Amino acid sequence: MSEQQVSTALEELRREIDQLELDDQAARERLTGLIESIEQRLIPGVVDEDQPDLVDEVKDAVTHFEVEHPRITGILNDLMMALSNLGI
């Protein structure tokens, strides 16, 4: 998966966030924060050694969302594979 495909998957994830229940603010915040972390890592030349491993962060999100939000889990799995393939 290329960076363009990652960007497309992030847009798909944003659409899913928009469809979450209004009272699921914690899920919205967690996913929005994850998107921001991924986008930050995609900026060329920006490396933050203090930033946790992004793939591990996505894995944690997959575990958290797999039961209640299977569509989000599928998108996160795709992103995890793509980030790993990109060496991020």
pLDDT in tens, 27-84: 999 999 999 988 888 877 665 665 668 888 889 999 989 888 999 999 999 998 888 8
More confident residue, 79 or 2: 79
- Find where tokens 């060329």 sit: 44
For residue 1, give the DSSP letter.
Answer: -
**Residue 68: what pLDDT?**
86
**Residue 49: what pLDDT?**
61
Taking the domains of the chain in order of start, what are their residue ranges? 3-85
Q: Are the beta carbons of 6 and 38 closer than 8 angstroms?
A: yes
